[in-house]
Amino acid sequence: MGRAEWDAEYEVVVAGSGAGAMTGALAAASNGLRTVVLEKTGLLGGTSAYSGSAIWLPGTRVQKRADIGDSTEGARAYLRALLGDEAAAHREAFLSTAPELVEFLEKD
């Protein structure tokens, strides 16, 4: 098989097509950025294609509507016990953006 030639230009290049990658690609494209997703396999979805496509995003309206009862405070306590305080900045970034991300995805 010969080498393919490609001279397209993009502002965002997303490597892989898993749930996180596709969410990032959607966010970039929704904000007007010329975006491409590159996947090395013949199937889209990455590991999320065969893992049930579930992701834990605590403190969202989806959980509240489903009456799941998984609060941001409960998730904070769980993550603190699991990861300690060294990951506090990452933990807080995750917890503060999870509801915003779900809201963005539901609007699409």
Give pTM, 2 decimals: 0.75
Which tens digits make up the pLDDT trace of 29-80?
999 999 999 999 888 888 888 777 778 899 999 989 999 888 999 999 999 9
Residue with tokens 């397209």: 8
| Element (DSSP H or E) covering residue 38 | strand 35-38
- 60 phi and psi, to 5 degrees? -100, 165
Average pLDDT, the chain: 91
- Return the pLDDT at 87: 93
In the chain, domain spans: 9-47, 55-108
Which residues share a beta bridge with 14?
Answer: 37
According to the model, what pLDDT value does residue 95 have?
97
